[in-house]
Amino acid sequence: MFNFFKKSKNIEEKCEEVHVVRITPAHRVFTMEYARRLYGTVTDPDQIPITDETHERIVRIHPDSVLGLEDAQGNLLSWSVCLPTTRELADLFCEGTITEKELFERTPVGATYDALYLCSIITLPEFQRKGYASTLLREGIARFPEANTYLFAWAWSEEGKALIRFTERNGHTIRLRK
């Protein structure tokens, strides 16, 4: 469980008590529909399709691949997808040799993973700029100690690029897709 604070006239005020959870079936329909609209995956064959089947495969690859941040009432504020994979596939993806969809399809289930794809973090607009995305990213990275020495991402939004810079300032090196 995390407590977040904001500075207000040099006084720390409690903002929100939140905790990290695995995405449940109750949240899955909402998160997938929201992500489909945001990323436009329905019309982009190169992205990982956002379907029940892909969600199930991601969770088979590792049960902590899809995490969320809930408030004390169980409301989902933010969620992330971190996909453990192999360094070989990570390099092919970052070089632009394979697509995101191919990265996902080629990632073996049950393998030893030595790379971590920081695939997606979404925070609902009304909860942005409270540190939730960075907290969720730190938690996601921490859950993959064997893979978190080789992090990579495909940053397409300004918020994503800022989050990567923040994460790098805090001691991680993140390779970006060309």
- Give pLDDT tens digits for 94-139: 999 999 999 999 999 999 999 999 999 999 999 999 999 999 999 9
- Give pLDDT tens digits for 60-88: 999 999 999 999 998 999 999 999 999 99
In the chain, the domains with their CATH numbers are 2-176 (3.40.630.30)
**SS3 letters across the chain:** CEEEEEEECCEEEEEEEEEEEECCHHHHHHHHHHHHHHHCHHHCCCCCCCCHHHHHHHHHHCCCCEEEEEECCCCEEEEEEEEEECHHHHHHHHCCCCCHHHHHHHCCCCCCCCEEEEEEEEECHHHCCCCHHHHHHHHHHHCCCCCCCCEEECCCCHHHHHHHHHHHHCCCCEEECC
